[in-house]
């Protein structure tokens, strides 16, 4: 599913990320572990095609991401990659449902409210669709962020520090939800974290 | 499109700032459009009324006052001239037509003009109903007078002394309305027209020994007359000759200075509106950096982010411009109503002034420039570095 070869990312001549070789099989859940500043976010950005690495190759489902033209990269990300950002950021001025609809429209699919309801229900927030995204609690936002990442049934889910800000109980719950949802749509899951509490949950790890 | 939906959501999420931006733009546009509409109509009206008469011969005094009183019917006359003295001028071979006017009375604020048949020719006025006055104390009324006062053929009206609405009445000398004029779009619409003899008749008791008129309205037979007649009259007679075209141009110049000052004021208003729009869009952009980065992670193209920012600015701009034009024209129309009460200039808010197309283009151009900078920034924002910084 994911093949990385000779990947390097420099900022102003300083190498902040170097991954000689890494493979992830389809449907696997893997951890990218490393302290703050070790290049975890840089790696996820490169895989998602949000940043172009200095050198190396990243193949997702057989497609060379670094070689895609900008428009093709944006389209590829919209259709095949689901991102959960560390900040859980939602667009606060519209409803939860509208946040998910935006994800659908930007992926080029028609708005599918049945799918939205299904995802919200499976995350235990069935009644939240009409709420203004700026007014919900952190725990709810966590789930909405996961819902948004999976609503288009991506083949690859990238989660950046999804648990770092949570207490132990919520950390375990959020991780369980993420693993469930990834499994439900058969997606490959990559979790980047410096949170040692969750390292035991993953068999496959990349240490940076 | 969902991007547009999002732009509206952003605007609705800060209603006060949105309203402020729209209001500032609207005030600037409204002020300029009001000035354009009113001055354009005033100019048009002045030129139309002035072009019927080439030269006015009246009593010495302010030439502007002479023109205002005898052509625009808006001021008191400078005095009277003797009918006998005026005859040689009317007979001058360079004069195509000479129309006497005798002023002094009014009916509910509409001036009663003693004149002859040639007066109607000056304004291309046609009798729509009834006939021309013939006997003494017969009168015809302009279209506006008939409509406003509900006058028709057969009605009687009594003049009041003086040109204000509230002079003492000449109750013992009523006029008989024998005709109503078709609308001309000129000052003739607002007049009561009768014979010079009727005006004399009303004022018989305090009439001077020799018959007098207020002025003579001349039309030239030859352009050469413009160079010779005024100078000859002013130099060799006790009367004064004044050109309506020249005096109305002078008047417009005088008014123009005031209008220009107001226009500069409105331009400053617009500039500050543009500035506030820019500040609002820019701070919104800063607040929303993370939203934009998020949209990129969801697959939005840079152009979509620029479009989002543009849509917000353009919505504010259009709302401000539309509201501004509505306010400007509404104010002009209200002024028209108010002036109609005072029976002078007809002003309408329902017509466009030619300058307004330029105004609309300028507003859109300034607004587009204002929105373009934030849109540009949105286009080139880099989501990767924003996400890595957290
Ligand atoms: N846009 C950028 N410009 C310069 N340096 C950057 C930029 N983004 C990240 N870095 C640097 O790259 C390194 C890795 O950052 P990051 O990938 O965010 O690490 P992590 O997510 O593991 O905390 C850090 O030292 C960071 O300062
Ligand atoms: Mg990071």
CATH classification code of A25-52+69-207 = 3.40.50.300
CB atoms within 10 A of CB A198: 18
Report field, pTM of the whole predicted structure over 0.80: no
Closest chain A CA to residue B305: A106
Tokens of A4: 């990385």
Residue A47's pLDDT is what? 95
B 253-292 near A (Cβ less than 8 A): 290-291
Domain boundaries, given as residue ranges, for chain A: 25-52+69-207
- Considering only CB atoms, A75 lies closest to which of B9, B12, B299, namely B299
Residues facing residue A10 across a β-bridge = A15
The mean per-residue pLDDT over the stretch B49-55 comes to 88
Tokens of B64: 């502007």
A60-70 in b/e form (b: 16+ CB < 10 A) is beeeebbebee
User: Does position B42 have pLDDT exceeding 80, yes or no?
Assistant: yes
CB B379 within 8 A of CB B306: yes
User: Does position B1 have pLDDT exceeding 60, yes or no?
Assistant: no
Query: Does any CB of chain B come closer than 8 Å to the CB of residue A48?
Result: yes
ipTM exceeding cut-off 0.90 for this assembly: yes
CA distances from A22 to A7, A55, A180, B122 (A): 9, 15, 24, 98
DSSP state of B232: H
Does the C-beta of A37 come closer than 6 Å to ligand 1? yes
Tokens of B160: 């009041």
The rounded distance, in Å, linking the Cα atoms of B245 and B225 is: 14
If you average pLDDT over every residue of chain B, what do you get? 88
Does the C-beta of A137 come closer than 6 Å to ligand 1? no
**pLDDT tens digits in sequence order for chain A, 208 residues long:** 899 999 999 998 899 999 999 999 999 999 999 998 999 999 999 999 999 999 999 999 888 999 999 999 999 999 999 999 888 789 999 999 999 999 999 998 899 999 999 999 999 999 999 999 999 988 889 899 999 999 999 999 999 988 877 788 888 888 898 999 999 989 999 999 998 888 888 888 888 8
How many helices (H) and strands (E) in chain A?
A: 6, 9
Is A50 close to B10, i.e. CB distance below 8 A? no
CA distances from A200 to A10, A24, A31, A197, A203 (A): 31, 18, 10, 7, 7
Give the number of C-alpha atoms closer than 13 A to the C-alpha of residue A123, restricted to the C-beta side.
30
CB A48 within 8 A of CB A79: no
The rounded distance, in Å, linking the Cα atoms of A26 and B54 is: 95
B295-306 in b/e form (b: 16+ CB < 10 A) is bbbbbbbbebbb
The rounded distance, in Å, linking the Cα atoms of B268 and B273 is: 8
Q: Is B162 left (phi over 0), alpha (psi -120 to 50) or beta?
A: left
Q: Which residue bears the tokens 């005024």?
A: B230
CB A85 within 8 A of CB B297: yes
Q: What are phi and psi of B36, to 5 degrees?
A: -60, -45
> Is residue B176 helix, strand or coil?
strand
- Considering only CB atoms, B299 lies closest to which of A74, A87, A98, namely A74
């Amino acid at each position: 599913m994911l093949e990385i070869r000779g990947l390097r990312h420099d900022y102003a001549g300083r190498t902040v990320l170097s991954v000689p070789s890494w493979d992830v099989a389809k449907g696997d859940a893997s951890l990218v572990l490393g302290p703050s500043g070790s290049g975890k976010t840089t790696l996820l950005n490169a895989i998602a095609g949000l940043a172009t690495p200095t050198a190396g190759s990243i193949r997702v489902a057989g497609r060379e991401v670094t070689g895609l033209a900008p428009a093709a990269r944006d389209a590829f990300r919209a259709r095949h990659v689901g991102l959960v950002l560390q900040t859980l950021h939602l667009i606060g001025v519209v409803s939860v449902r509208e946040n998910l609809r935006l994800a659908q429209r930007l992926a080029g699919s028609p708005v599918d409210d049945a799918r939205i309801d299904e995802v919200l229900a499976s995350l235990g927030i069935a009644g939240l669709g009409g709420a203004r995204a700026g007014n919900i609690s952190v725990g709810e936002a966590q789930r909405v962020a996961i819902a948004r990442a999976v609503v288009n049934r991506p083949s690859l889910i990238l989660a950046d520090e999804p648990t770092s800000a949570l207490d132990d109980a919520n950390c375990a719950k959020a991780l369980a939800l993420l693993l469930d949802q990834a499994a439900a749509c058969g997606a490959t899951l990559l979790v980047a974290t410096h949170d040692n509490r969750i390292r035991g949950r993953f068999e496959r790890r990349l240490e940076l | 499109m969902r991007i547009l939906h999002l732009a509206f959501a952003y605007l609705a999420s800060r209603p006060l700032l949105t309203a402020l931006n729209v209001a500032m733009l609207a005030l600037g546009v409204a002020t300029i459009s009001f000035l354009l509409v009113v001055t354009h109509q005033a100019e048009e009206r002045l030129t139309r009324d002035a072009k019927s008469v080439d030269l006015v011969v009246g009593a010495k005094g302010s030439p502007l006052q002479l023109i205002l009183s005898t052509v625009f019917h808006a001021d008191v006359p400078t005095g009277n001239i003797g009918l006998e003295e005026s005859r040689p001028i009317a007979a001058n071979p360079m004069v195509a037509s000479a129309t006497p006017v005798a002023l002094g009375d009014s009916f509910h604020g509409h001036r009663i003009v003693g004149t002859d048949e040639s007066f109607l020719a000056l304004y291309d006025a046609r009798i729509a109903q009834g006939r021309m006055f013939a006997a003494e104390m017969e009168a015809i009324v302009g279209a506006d007078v008939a409509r406003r006062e509900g006058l028709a053929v057969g009605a009687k009206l009594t003049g009041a002394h003086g040109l204000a609405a509230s002079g003492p009445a000449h109750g013992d000398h009523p006029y008989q309305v024998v005709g109503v004029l078709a609308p001309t779009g000129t000052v003739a619409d607002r007049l009561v027209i009768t014979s010079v003899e009727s005006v004399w008749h009303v004022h018989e008791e305090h009439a001077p020994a020799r018959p007098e008129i207020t002025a003579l309205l001349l039309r030239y037979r030859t352009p050469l007359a413009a160079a010779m007649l005024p100078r000859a009259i002013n130099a060799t007679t006790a009367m004064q000759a004044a050109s309506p075209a020249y005096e109305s141009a002078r008047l417009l110049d005088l008014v123009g200075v005031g209008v220009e000052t107001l226009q500069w004021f409105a331009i400053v208003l617009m500039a500050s509106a543009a500035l506030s729009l820019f500040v609002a869009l820019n701070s919104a952009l800063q607040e929303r950096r993370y939203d934009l980065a998020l949209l990129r992670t969801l697959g939005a193209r840079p152009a979509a982010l620029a479009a989002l920012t543009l849509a917000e600015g353009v919505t504010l701009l259009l709302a401000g411009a539309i509201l501004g034009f509505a306010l400007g024209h509404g104010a002009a129309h209200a002024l028209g109503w108010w002036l109609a009460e005072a029976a002078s200039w007809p002003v309408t808010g329902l017509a466009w002034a030619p300058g307004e197309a330029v105004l609309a283009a300028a507003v859109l151009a300034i607004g587009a420039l204002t929105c373009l900078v934030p849109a540009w920034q949105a286009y080139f924002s880099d989501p990767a570095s924003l996400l890595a910084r957290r």
